[in-house]
Amino acid sequence: MGKLTSTLVGFIALSASLTHSKVLENLEQLDSAKESYDFVIVGGGIGGSTVASRLSENPRFNVLLIEAGPTNEGVIDIAVPAFFLNINSTYSWGHVTTPQIGLNNRSLPYNQARVLGGSSSHNGMVYTRGSSDDFDLWGRVSGDRSWSWKTLYPYFLRNEKLVPPPGGRDASGQYDPQFHAIKNAEQSKEIKFNLDVNSGKPSGLIWVQATIGNGERSSAAVGALGGKVKERPNLTILLNTHATRVLPSKESRQLDIRTVEIVSVSSGKKTTVTAKKELIVSGGAFGTPHLLLNSGIGDKKELEDVNVKSILHLPDVGKGLSDHLSFQVSWSADDVVRPVDTVAALEEWQTNRTGPLTEAVGHQLMFSRIPPNAPLFKEHRDPAAGPNSPHIEISLLSLGPRVLGFVALLTPKSRGTVKIASNNPLDKPLIDPGYLTHPFDLLAFKEGIRIAKRWYEGPVYEGYITNFLGPDPDTLPEREFDNALRAGAGTWWHPVGTASISPKGAKHGVLDPELKVKGVKGLRVVDASAIPYVPTAHTQASVYALAEKASDLIKASW
């Protein structure tokens, strides 16, 4: 398995090749009549790719991985870290949210990947695990203490490998090896330098750790499925194929679901594939509830309203969506623009995988808790999972005479839903994240902006930062600031929680602690939809750990 990083982390990078492998470009190449599969995995993102890799380590298991999108290989905008914002719509689902009441009825484009590797082939490559409290919360929510920071920590380590930054730069002092000259941090009482964001205590000014290796993006498609993995005779990867429904067995008295209906993206050809052991859904926080609801698994009344026959009343499918929202503020600075010569930089990258194109989001980020004496805590209970969980992430970008700050709320109280609009499984889901529908979130953004302001008020920035340009919650009238926030906030594309784990026997939730769909035999979910609350981190690391644990759970069952 794989490779993460320059400023850190990495799935072992292995060159990937379609030449000597069972990678099928379309459904027409699949002969399901001649070959049977022990495990069928729907979705080739982080969850599906990791599980496919781990299960196919056992030569006795025959594994089929189905991905709706094309291969990631040969796409320069995917491979070059700095080009991630250039990735075209071929590799995206093209989702758009419903009009958001909390955002002045704006609908936001939602950039979810449709390509092998899923969002790990499409994201900003930041690798942060979150706080130890986040994962201990999973244990409390699921009623199973095997979900905790302590028990998941070995799974983080399993799929990581520290690799040096491009060009051989010495990264000493930018991470703490046991968990795998920043003057303003030293003088700031609020935000201290944190040697390693992935220690379980992420708060502070941190060096970015990223899923980049040898100057290239290291996605799940590269790390989990690269090199000799694709050459395994017991692993088949089927591309450009949509899963439309999961289907119950007609031969079992208990609801037994191991069959998936699939359709070719190009030709519309339709067929079914049945797993002998388990069907594993890894469609992500939108794709998984969309598939389950189209299959008749969800709230019975809501399904009947769109003429879908209910086969299992599981009302929490598609509920509990949480995500990270971000808002931009800016400062004026005494500096000049230093543009990158993209042509020369690309030539350097193509020659030896070094230079400015080997990074995506800069070198440093800040994580901070809102001060405990902040007025909002007199009105609202602190939603953080514990004292190690930051409320706010701030990323800073210098553009010469202007400095941008992106303030993200990591602990939102707002919740949303994923629903279906019709009984046509090829119609897009209705995605309603419910942004800024809880009053805590609006107040928390104001506190986050104040934290960012205080950072640049330090003496180190005298003569560099000349003015705060806002929007400023301390000078604008409340209504004017609130309107600016609602008009300008955008998503960081970190959705979770739409098929959440919960205790065995509990009527709420969608999955039991072993990630099995409640009330169903043979069907398991392994992706971000299982995560009950959005972690105080960029979500890919959490999904990698979840998928590693899921692989062990599945192996133990068989």
How much is the pLDDT for 167? 65
Tokens (6 digits) for 432: 């309603």
| Those residues with Cβ within 8 angstroms of residue 273's Cβ, 6 or more apart along the chain or in another chain | 30, 32, 37, 40, 64, 66, 259, 260, 262
Whether residue 12 is predicted with pLDDT greater than 60 in this model: the reply is no
Alpha helix stretches (DSSP H) within 149-294: 149-158, 183-187, 220-223, 284-294
Q: Is 1 annotated as a binding residue?
A: no
Residue length, the chain?
558
> Which residue among 242, 324, 391, 538 is the active-site one?
538
10 pLDDT higher than 60: no
pLDDT band at 224 (very low <50, low <70, confident <90, very high): very high
Check if the beta carbon of residue 41 is closer than 8 Å to that of residue 256: no
Is 60 exceeded by the pLDDT of residue 3? no
Tell me whether residue 194 is annotated as binding. Answer: no
Consult the annotation and say whether 168 binds a ligand.
no
| Predicted pLDDT at 6 | 37
Q: Kindly calculate the radius of gyration of the chain based on its CA atoms and give it in whole angstroms.
A: 23
Please classify residue 11 by burial: count the beta carbons closer than 10 Å to its beta carbon, then call 0-12 exposed, 13-18 middle and 19+ buried. buried
Q: pLDDT tens-digit profile of 471-500?
A: 999 999 999 999 999 999 999 999 999 999
Instruction: Say which range, 105-109, 245-249, 282-286, 338-342, has the weakest mean pLDDT.
Output: 338-342
Residue 18 is predicted with a pLDDT of 36
pLDDT of res. 254: 86
Spatial neighbors of 393 by CB under 8 A, at least 6 apart, are 324, 365, 366, 367, 407, 408, 410, 536
Q: Share the mean pLDDT of the chain.
A: 91
Cα–Cα distance list, 365 to 128, 201, 394, 403, 509 (Å): 11, 14, 6, 14, 34
- Which pLDDT tens digit goes with each residue over 116-169? 999 999 999 999 999 999 999 999 999 999 999 999 999 999 988 777 677 666
SS3 call for 475: coil
Q: How confident is the model at residue 200 (pLDDT cuts 50, 70, 90)?
A: very high
Has 366 been labeled as part of a binding site? no
User: Residue 277: its pLDDT value, please?
Assistant: 98
Ligand-binding annotation for 313, yes or no, is: no
- pLDDT category at 9 given cuts 50, 70, 90 is very low
Q: Give whole-number Cα distances, 143 to 185, 303, 383, 505, 513, in Å.
A: 39, 29, 19, 10, 8
Spatial separation of the C-alpha atoms in residues 170 and 165, rounded to whole Å: 8
Catalytic residue from among 122, 242, 391, 494: 494
Specify the pLDDT at position 174. 62
| Residues 6 or more apart whose Cβ sits within 8 Å of residue 281 | 42, 43, 243, 246, 288, 291, 292, 523, 524, 525, 526, 527
Q: Is 558 annotated as a binding residue?
A: no
Query: Does 538 qualify as catalytic in the annotation?
Result: yes
Distance between CA atoms of 286 and 68, rounded to whole angstroms? Answer: 14
Q: Is 125 annotated as a binding residue?
A: yes
Min mean pLDDT across 56-65, 333-342, 509-518 is at 333-342
Per-residue confidence (pLDDT) for residue 175, from 0 to 100: 60
Lowest mean pLDDT among 16-30, 211-225, 318-332, 473-487: 16-30
Task: Average the pLDDT over 26-35 and give the result.
Answer: 82
Q: For the chain, what percent of residues have pLDDT higher than 70?
A: 91
- 167 vs 105, higher pLDDT: 105
pLDDT of residue 340: 85
- Among 181-195, 228-242, 265-279, 455-469, which stretch is predicted with the lowest mean pLDDT? 181-195
Q: What is the structure's pLDDT at 450?
A: 97
Average pLDDT on 213-239 reads: 94
Structure tokens given for 175: 């991470």
Is the pTM above the cut of 0.85?
yes
Tell me what pLDDT residue 160 has.
Answer: 81
Please compute the mean of the pLDDT values over residues 193-213 and round it to a whole number: 92
